[in-house]
Amino acid sequence: MSYELQPTVAIDIIATLPTLAILSLFTADHDLHRVRRAPLSPFFSRAGVAAARTQGMVRAKVERLCERVGGFAAGGGTATEEEKNGEKIVLDLDAAISAFQRDVSTGFVLGKSYDDLEKEDFAVGMAHFSQGLGRMWRMTKHLRWYGPLMLSIPRDWLIQYADERAAQFMRYTKSSEAETDRLLKDAAANFASSSQDSNYQPSTIVHAIVNSPDLPPSEKTLTRVFADVATVTGAGFETTAGVMRLVIYEVFSNAEILGKLRAELDDASFAAAAASASAVNGGDGGSSGSDGKKILLELRTLEKLPYLTAVLTEGMRMSPALATRAQRVAVDRDIVYEEGGSYGGDGKKDKEVWRIPAGTPVVMTTLFMHMDERLYPDPKRFDPERWLRMTPEERRWADKTFSPFSRGARICLADHFEFVSNQFIIGTKGKSVLEVLVKHRE
């Protein structure tokens, strides 16, 4: 038996926010999206993220986060949750993780960190406001006038009269727009020399856009470029921070998982130290301390650690960067869907066939796929080892349905960067949040 659905109107996930939907790479127009995304893809590629400059920036922020967390644990910090009279200091680790992620996101995208890790309360208002935007987006998908109404309010008015959370966020957007303008002028001034240098590597996404020969001048205006800056940085704030908060909580809630993760990192450290000591040119595992003991693991080592990868993958399964619906539209062909074609199908021979007309939005909520008991038994349990014990058939279907960063041509641009920052925050042996918390708990 077959069915034919009637076509419906496609609505972009953020079409209710006109500045982003029209001007940024999030545009609903497929051809325009490809044109705008192309100059940024090399910048966010695996090679771009693995560059020494990027690794150094992320590692420095991890070390600063550890210093701040260690200061609180030792009783030397202050925070908005502090009990006065010196009785007790409570670390807002949620705010600290969010501040770290904002710092590395702006540092990577704009080449300038806004140093929220240095603020006494980790600029917690920024985190609260960013989290609130998610609730607003759910509303604007149905009340389409609400988004434009909010965007019509003058930014300077909000800075002056809104609550401190909104004011913090608006001050950040004003500052980042000014920084984008400065970078645009710098990139334009150096365009002649950089465009003729075959080895030129853009240091910010602004430079990547300006130096693209495929983009017309209309795509390089401040309004257009800042739309990309705002969407790319903003998309990396609470999404990645949410994964890391969940991972840290789950790891510390299970002594067995914590022990296995630390053991793997210890083994990797000792192996890298031995390789470094025996290699003529210092080896390739990482850098050593003055006592010869391994204290840092390089990205290429972290990427090969199966249990660390499983821990982070399980975190992304339970807290995907994009948990809501992200529709896709086949603009030039019908889609044929066969019932029972998914993992765990009923095996019926006479399967029903659905024909979805071209131009119809097709969508599945990511979290529903990630919580499917047929793929992930006991799906609400944090179980990193499920990724290590999967059969080939289970792995094949998991690879098809696991989509924390969405899938296809519109997959999250910064998926490599977000995974790398999580690897460093957990896996930098001797200089990780994990080790700092373990040390002070013991």
Alpha carbon 129 to its chain's center: 17
At position 81, the amino acid (one-letter code) is E
Token pair belonging to 318 = 């339970």
Closest CA to 122 of 156, 158, 81: 81
The CA distance from 39 to 79, in Å, is: 41
Residue 66 labelled as part of a binding site = no
DSSP 297-352: --HHHHTT-HHHHHHHHHHHHHS-S--S---EE-SSS-EEEETT-STT----SS--
Closest CA to 317 of 386, 252, 249: 386
Strand partners, 4: 355
Token pair belonging to 313 = 């993958």
Closest CA to 13 of 150, 177, 178, 134: 134
Alpha carbon 10 to its chain's center: 26
With tokens 């202050």, the residue in question is 78
Local structure of 294: helix, strand or coil:
strand
Could you list the residues known to form a binding site, using ranges.
412
Could you list the residues known to form a binding site for heme, using ranges.
412
